[in-house]
């Protein structure tokens, strides 16, 4: 079992910094997903683990060994890429076993290991086919089997499902989780797809602009975003973020005369903040309800079991997950309410403002040991 440790890891291309000092530890046997938008440095960080990119500053340790100067083949990592990179003229059997052949493993032992790995990814019936005779999902399983057959200390996945359709992506997520459960190998998975990240990860490393915004379990990152960026990036639909300012009475003033109360407002008087609330935490309310927000419907997206209401609340955009029925034409006036413990507050620099509500959420979603 193998840990991966980042110590102030930086990457520059000439004078242009792309990774700005990452400090983190991936525990032995953990499945960690590095998540972020395109260009945030997540694939660069993964490639530095693999030895495919040089480290400009800092150290990466695999186990107790600093690997900065080690060749890729010396690091004990196996990588699955976005493009399958299979040898088109070789059968599935030969593709999977090629690295073992190069390493000089005797043929009987090599064939036995190839068969075992092929069975684990349901490829035993395809061993004599060429890659061109396989579907996209099957080719991706061949790429995974080729990595598995080496019995590495670390698995690295660089957006491996990007070329698959939506249904296959769901199937492959289940496949990867099952394999990780069975093998227990430390795994690092890079993606920009938050659904993929939330469903796969033991923990997330969320990156933005070459910096780590937050590290935590999916539920903790969702319920307790450390920054406005994380709040906006995690969740579909994204968190509602309403710009405004608290007055001396603790009332949050926003948009064109909109007002509402939020816990901690008195202590934040005069500060410009963003108030965040998840769309699913908002409820329809009667016109006379205490603290209700008045809003006007822009349009509705029907999703079957639920619908999304897009509304204007005194000039602030509001998205609400609604399970009601009946028509809601544009221009309909509605009132919404939410619980104080569901409110998130973010300062002008984008960091979360700690309140009693955020402390209560932290306690409710306190992390348990990884292997619990």
Mean pLDDT comparison of 47-56, 240-249, 350-359, highest-scoring range: 47-56
Give 250-274 as a 3 state SS string: CEEEECCCEEEECCCCHHHCCCEEE
Number of helices (H), then strands (E), belonging to the chain: the values are 9, 20
* DSSP run (H or E) holding 186: strand 186-191
Task: Choose one of 228, 258, 276: the last residue of a domain.
Answer: 228
369 belongs to a structural domain: no
- The owner of tokens 């999304």 is 308
Domain identity same for 201 and 240:
no
The tally of domains found in the chain comes to: 2
Summarised one tens digit per residue, pLDDT across range 347-369 is: 999 999 987 666 666 666 665 54
| Nearest by Cα to 189 from 81, 312, 59, 61 | 81
Going by C-beta distance under 8 Å and a sequence separation of 6 or more, which residues neighbour residue 199? Answer: 173, 177
Token couple for 313: 């609340």
- DSSP-derived 3-state class of residue 32: strand
| Distance from C-alpha of 244 to C-alpha of 293, rounded to nearest angstrom | 14
pLDDT number for residue 362 = 66
The verdict on 168 and 311 lying in the same domain is no
Residue 294 in domain: yes
Do residues 158 and 20 share a domain? yes
Closest by CA to 207, choosing from 48, 40, 4, is 40
Q: What is the CATH number of the domain that holds 309?
A: 2.40.50.140
Q: Alpha-carbon Rg of the chain, whole angstroms?
A: 25
CATH code of the domain containing 55: 3.40.50.300
Instruction: Residue 309: give the domain boundaries.
Output: 230-364
Q: Are residues 212 and 234 in the same domain?
A: no
3-state class (DSSP) for residue 173: helix
Check whether residue 8 and residue 127 sit in a common domain. yes
Answer whether the bond into residue 237 is a cis peptide, omega within 30°: yes
Instruction: Enter the pTM of the model.
Output: 0.88
92 belongs to a structural domain: yes
More confident residue, 21 or 175: 21
Same domain? For 209 and 330 the reply is no
Cα dihedral across residues 116, 122, 124, 126: positive or negative: negative
Pairing relationship of beta strands 57-62 and 4-13 according to DSSP bridges: antiparallel
Q: Is 370 a domain residue? A: no
Residues 243 and 203 in one domain: no
Domain end position, chosen among 228, 252, 273: 228
Residues 211 and 342 in one domain: no
In a domain, 351, yes or no: yes
| Per-residue pLDDT band at 54 (split at 50, 70, 90) | very high
Say if residue 222's pLDDT is above 80. Answer: yes
Q: Final residue of a domain: which of 191, 209, 228?
A: 228
Q: What percent of the chain has pLDDT over 70?
A: 94
């Amino acid at each position: 079992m193998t840990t991966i440790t980042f110590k102030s890891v930086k990457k520059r291309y000439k004078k242009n910094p792309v990774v700005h000092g990452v400090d983190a530890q991936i525990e032995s046997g953990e499945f960690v997903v590095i998540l972020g938008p395109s260009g945030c440095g997540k694939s660069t960080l993964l490639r530095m683990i693999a030895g495919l990119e040089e480290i400009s500053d800092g150290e990466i340790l695999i186990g107790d060994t600093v690997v900065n100067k080690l060749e890729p083949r010396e690091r004990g990592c196996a990588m699955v890429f976005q493009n399958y990179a299979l040898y088109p003229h070789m059968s599935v059997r030969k593709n999977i076993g090629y690295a073992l052949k190069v390493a000089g493993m005797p043929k009987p032992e090599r064939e036995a290991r190839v068969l075992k790995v092929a069975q684990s990814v349901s490829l035993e019936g395809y061993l004599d086919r060429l890659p061109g005779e396989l579907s996209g999902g099957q080719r991706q399983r061949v790429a995974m089997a080729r990595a598995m057959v080496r019995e590495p200390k670390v698995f690295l996945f660089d957006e491996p499902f990007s070329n698959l359709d939506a249904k296959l992506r769901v199937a492959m997520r289940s496949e990867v989780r099952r394999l990780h459960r069975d093998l227990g190998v430390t795994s690092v998975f890079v993606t920009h797809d938050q659904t993929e990240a939330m469903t796969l990860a033991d923990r997330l490393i969320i990156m933005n602009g070459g910096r780590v915004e937050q590290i935590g379990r999916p539920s903790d990152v969702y319920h307790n975003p450390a920054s406005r960026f994380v709040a906006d990036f995690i969740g579909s639909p994204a968190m509602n973020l309403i710009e405004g300012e608290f007055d001396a009475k603790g009332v949050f003033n926003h948009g064109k005369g909109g007002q509402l109360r939020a816990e901690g407002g008195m202590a934040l008087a005069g500060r410009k903040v963003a108030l965040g609330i998840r769309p699913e935490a908002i409820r329809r309310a009667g016109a006379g309800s205490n603290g209700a927000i008045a809003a006007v419907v822009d349009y509705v997206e029907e999703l079957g079991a639920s619908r999304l209401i897009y509304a204007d609340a005194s000039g602030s955009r509001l998205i609400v997950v609604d399970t009601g029925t009946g028509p809601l034409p544009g221009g309909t006036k509605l009132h919404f309410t939410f619980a104080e413990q569901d409110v998130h507050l973010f300062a002008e620099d984008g960091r979360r403002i700690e309140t009693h509500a955020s402390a209560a959420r932290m306690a409710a979603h306190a992390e348990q040991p990884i292997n619990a």
